[in-house]
Amino acid sequence: MFFATDKHHQPVEELAKDDFAVIDDERVIRDFRSFSRADLTKLDVVVLMDSSDSVLPRFRPQMADVLQLITQWPWNQDDNLSIMSFSGLEPHLLCDGNCRNWFDADRVALPPGGGETPLFDALDVAANALIERRQPDIWQVIILFSDGQDTISKHSYADAKEKLLENGVLVYTVDVSEASQPSYGIATLRKIADDSGGRCLSIAEGVDTILNDVINDLESARVVTYIAPQSSADFHAIRILPTRNLNLQFRSRRGYYHHSGGAR
Amino acid sequence: MNLARSLLFLLCGLPGLLAAQIGIYQHGTVVRMHMGDCILAQRGLMATFGGPATATGQEACPEYTLVSDSVVFVIVGKSSNHLIPLAETIDFRLRKNELAVLIDDAKRETRFTIKEMVVRSEWERMQRHIDEQGGASQTNETKR
């Protein structure tokens, strides 16, 4: 699955299969088995909220933004939403599976956690939760609200990344820092989003913009399949590049794990 | 202002347009690409063999394997976003020890540093050998 945008990051409506090539494990692939728009049928979303010391002053506004995002999201009947926060020594599952009505003004008023920031542990736990209920026709998405500064995780980012990439989980990161003072962890947030094929956004853009960006993104996704090239490595790095128009930009996860022959 | 723009366009685009009209371009296909070291592309061939490398940052440059009728070129871009459109066939020519690729629907050329040149038959022989080795190691792993 991938996303095509123009040089202004606007989704491209018209895209033909000969407009792009896939670099898979350094090999240029132009011969595709199939190419189509992705059907956005069912979503399984985990919202991860940083509630550690470093974001405490902005935690309540962040909770209010999350509430607004969840309320405005155009959910389908069968979509799943789980909500987790992370602070102290571990992540906390606040609501699992069917949480669209769980979040209300009373929850927003709850006292925040404070303490250390187990960011990568939270990503790992969220990835595990999604993997457990993985089904082929469900898109799995993590929306991470944080300043990107991990301070205490037992897991490394590499642990979580492997699970996210292997299962095609898309991560959108939202930097909760003030616009005038970008977070030291912004590079981490960008990397997490870029590796999965998602996007790094800023809370300063406003919830409406974030929501539009994510929904437009999901609705403009394309799926391409091809025979995976032979390789001695299990991990295939991938990149999508234009064949003619160099103004086209493509986003996808950075790679996938492949243990035997077949299409991806 | 418009005159200046027109002159600029002519100066930039003329070599490519002329070359295209004269028909001196060769044709080839990019079959491999990866992000590699920028040193060769940024500082020339001598940097590879010269003294200690200076810090060039973490930037990686695109490295392409371009297969033409008789020669296979490995070429390197000069920055991370120095890209070749990966069409089935691209037009290029050799120019002052560099490889100039025609891009943007033949409106302009962009130049790449040549890292390696191999006769195609020799390159194909090496690829067959690599594929056979890859196949053999996969068979061994399956047996284990």
B87 pLDDT above the threshold of 60: yes
Asked if residue B37 lies in contact with residue B78, where contact means CB atoms within 8 angstroms, the answer is no
Residue A210: is it exposed, middle or buried by C-beta count within 10 angstroms (0-12/13-18/19+)? buried
Percent of chain A with pLDDT over 90: 58
* CATH superfamily placement of domain A42-219: von Willebrand factor, type A domain (3.40.50.410)
Nearest to A242 among B31, B85, B131 (CB): B85
Chain B residues in contact with A20 by the CB 8 A cut-off are 86
Neighbours of B120 (CB within 10 A): 14
A54 pLDDT above the threshold of 80: yes
**Between the CA of residue A202 and those of A92, A192, A262, what are the distances in Å?**
23, 14, 39
Kindly write down the DSSP assignment for every residue of chain A, as one continuous string.
-EEEE-TTSPBPS---GGGEEEEETTEEE---SEEEE----EEEEEEEEE-SGGGGGGHHHHHHHHHHHHHHS---TT-EEEEEEEETTEEEEEE-SB-TTT--HHHHTSPP--S---HHHHHHHHHHHHHHT--TTEEEEEEEEE-----S-SS-HHHHHHHHHHTT-EEEEEE-S-TTS--TTHHHHHHHHHHHT--EEEGGG-HHHHHHHHHHHHHT-EEEE-BPPP-SSSEEEEEEEESS-TT-EEEE-SEEE--SS-B-
Indicate yes or no: CB of B32 within 8 angstroms of CB of A28. yes
Nearest to A246 among B31, B104, B138 (CB): B104
B107 pLDDT above the threshold of 90: no
How does pLDDT run across A139-148, given as a tens digit for each residue? 999 999 999 9
Q: What is the pLDDT of residue B18?
A: 52
Domain boundaries, chain A: 2-38+222-257, 42-219
ipTM value, please give it. 0.81
Q: What is the pLDDT of residue B69?
A: 94
**Where residue B52 falls among pLDDT bands split at 50, 70, 90?**
very low
**Where residue B44 falls among pLDDT bands split at 50, 70, 90?**
low
Chain A interface residues (partner B, CB cutoff 8 A): 18, 20-21, 23, 26-28, 30, 230-232, 239, 241-246
Indicate yes or no: CB of B83 within 8 angstroms of CB of A244. no
How does pLDDT run across A13-23, given as a tens digit for each residue? 999 999 999 99
- β-bridge partners, A95: A83
Residue of B nearest to A232 (CA): B134
Residue of B nearest to A25 (CA): B34
**Between the CA of residue A168 and those of A23, A38, B55, what are the distances in Å?**
17, 14, 36
Least confident of A33-42, A210-219, B19-28, B90-99: B19-28
Indicate yes or no: CB of B135 within 8 angstroms of CB of A243. no
**Where residue B139 falls among pLDDT bands split at 50, 70, 90?**
low
